[in-house]
Amino acid sequence: MNKEVFISNRKRLMERVEDNSLVILFAGNAPKKSADEAYPFTPNRNFYYLTGIDEEEHIITLRKKDNKVEEVLFIKKPDLEKEKWLGKTIRKNEAIEISGVDEVKYLEEFLPFVHSSIITNGITNIWLDLERDSFNEDATYTEKFAKKLMRKYPYVNIKCIYNYIAELRLVKSEEEVKEIRKAIRVTIDGVEMLMKHAKPGIKEYELEAYFDFVCKKEGAKDYAFKTIAAAGKNAAVLHYVANNSEINDGDLILFDLGAQVNYYNGDISRTIPANGKFEGRKKDVYNAVLRVNEKIIDAIKPGANWGKINEMANDLLAEEMIGLGLIKDKKDYRKYYWHSIGHSLGLDCHDVGPRWVDLKPGMIFTVEPGLYIEEEGIGVRIEDDVLVTEDGNEVLTKEMIKSVEEIENFMAK
């Protein structure tokens, strides 16, 4: 992406931060896997959102003093011996080219910079990304750093920048939408490849492999999440990822997957008949979910409230369940549908930001109603990615076929 995107992200963030502040974000490290092997590195998304840089250990600092902002990126000093094994790390001029920051220094200078910011430059607020998922989670690297700061400079205020960045990330810039469109394009190509090869007798992981092949071939570096390829009753487990069962004639196959391009994600679910024909009850259940998918998409426009849309989806699905004879009383709908209608999509598949918001142009939400009837071996989810526009919405996944007729025709070819 163009560096202007990251410059703008930093500018908009620093407009919200008070004077005498230093914002510090870490790119992070790949955790150890086993022996001398690490898990693949992926940058802290808030660091990436502000820099566009995706290498380990780097640190971005944004210092606001007398209402002027100084940006300094701290990078690893090149280690020429190590580079013979692992390849080159980013150079100062490259870091400026990618991120557009004012200045780049080496990591050795980071702690003295923090110290002088507090002692010489009168910084009284230090803002860190102190996101945590649960009370019991181990302390993150940033929390440990915060603790050190509190011990050494007990008069400094430690503040959490996470919500400010998350709120910015909720509304996508045009450039971000472009990246998501690319991820969706690869995802659709992958789904089509997988659908071409779907047939009774093969294993779920074989279908996953066709999707993986297209993602790799089209240059996607990663996936939005571990692919779900679930046949028959496996589809009643929302995040079934074992993908190791044989597909039977008559099964519906639910797949939920996404390619990731430049860290932006696509997220699509489709449900198809293994033998190419939606029949009887399965067709009825499929069409019930499809009606809800379409009605919810129609409700997406600026000013609509995501919480209300979620309630509308609950109600519509409950009505469909009554129509299908699954329940008698709407309040029992959780028996066959127990997630929410969707989520913001962006640099994270389940993207950050406040959840039950009033929709604004630039937000992207998934719409993913489902019905999961384990006792009948049926699980259906139909998921699209929808951009809120000035006058309504655009279905970014519109090229991914979804009607019974379209899917049957495609599979008959």
Q: Which is nearer to Mn ion, 60 or 253 (CB)?
A: 253
267 is an interface residue for Mn ion by CB under 5 A: yes
Residue at 409: amino acid letter: N
Q: Which residue has the tokens 């908009």?
A: 12
Minimum distance, C-beta of residue 337 to ligand GLY, in the bound complex (Å) = 14
Is 258 in contact with 183 (CB distance < 8 Å)?
A: yes
| Residues 331-350 contacting ligand GLY, CB under 6 A | 343
256 is an interface residue for Mn ion by CB under 5 A: yes
351 is an interface residue for ligand GLY by CB under 6 A: no
Query: Distance between CA 351 and CA 265 in Å, rounded?
Result: 10
Helix (H) / strand (E) element for 276: namely: none
267 is an interface residue for ligand GLY by CB under 6 A: yes
- Residues 140-179: x/- map of binding to Mn ion (CB under 5 A)? ----------------------------------------
Query: Distance between CA 338 and CA 349 in Å, rounded?
Result: 19
Helix (H) / strand (E) element for 22: namely: strand 21-26
Minimal CB distance residue for ligand GLY? 256
Q: Which segment (20-28, 36-44, 254-262, 295-303) binds Mn ion by CB under 5 A?
A: 254-262
Is 209 in contact with 193 (CB distance < 8 Å)?
A: no
Minimum distance, C-beta of residue 9 to Mn ion, in the bound complex (Å) = 24
| Residues 289-328 contacting ligand GLY, CB under 6 A | none
Q: Which is nearer to ligand GLY, 282 or 343 (CB)?
A: 343
Query: Distance between CA 411 and CA 413 in Å, rounded?
Result: 5
Query: Distance between CA 12 and CA 20 in Å, rounded?
Result: 17
Query: Distance between CA 60 and CA 51 in Å, rounded?
Result: 8
366 is an interface residue for Mn ion by CB under 5 A: yes
**Using CB distances below 5 to 8 A depending on partner kind, what does residue 314 bind out of ligand GLY, Mn ion, none?**
none
Is 172 in contact with 359 (CB distance < 8 Å)?
A: no
Is 48 in contact with 264 (CB distance < 8 Å)?
A: no
Among 54, 204, 368, 384, binds ligand GLY (CB under 6 A): 368
348 is an interface residue for Mn ion by CB under 5 A: no
- Least Cα distance to 101 among 127, 71, 125 occurs for 71
Is 73 in contact with 109 (CB distance < 8 Å)?
A: no
Among 41, 153, 225, 410, binds ligand GLY (CB under 6 A): 225
Among 54, 176, 179, 256, binds ligand GLY (CB under 6 A): 256
Q: Are strands 59-65 and 68-75 parallel, antiparallel or unpaired?
A: antiparallel
Binding-site residue total for ligand GLY (CB under 6 A)? 6
Phi, psi (degrees; rounded to nearest 5) at 136: -85, -10
9 is an interface residue for Mn ion by CB under 5 A: no
- Least Cα distance to 399 among 181, 162, 232 occurs for 181
Minimum distance, C-beta of residue 139 to ligand GLY, in the bound complex (Å) = 28
Binding-site residue total for Mn ion (CB under 5 A)? 5
**Using CB distances below 5 to 8 A depending on partner kind, what does residue 384 bind out of ligand GLY, Mn ion, none?**
none
Residues in touch with Mn ion (CB under 5 A): 256, 267, 269, 366, 383
Residues in touch with ligand GLY (CB under 6 A): 225, 256, 267, 343, 368, 383
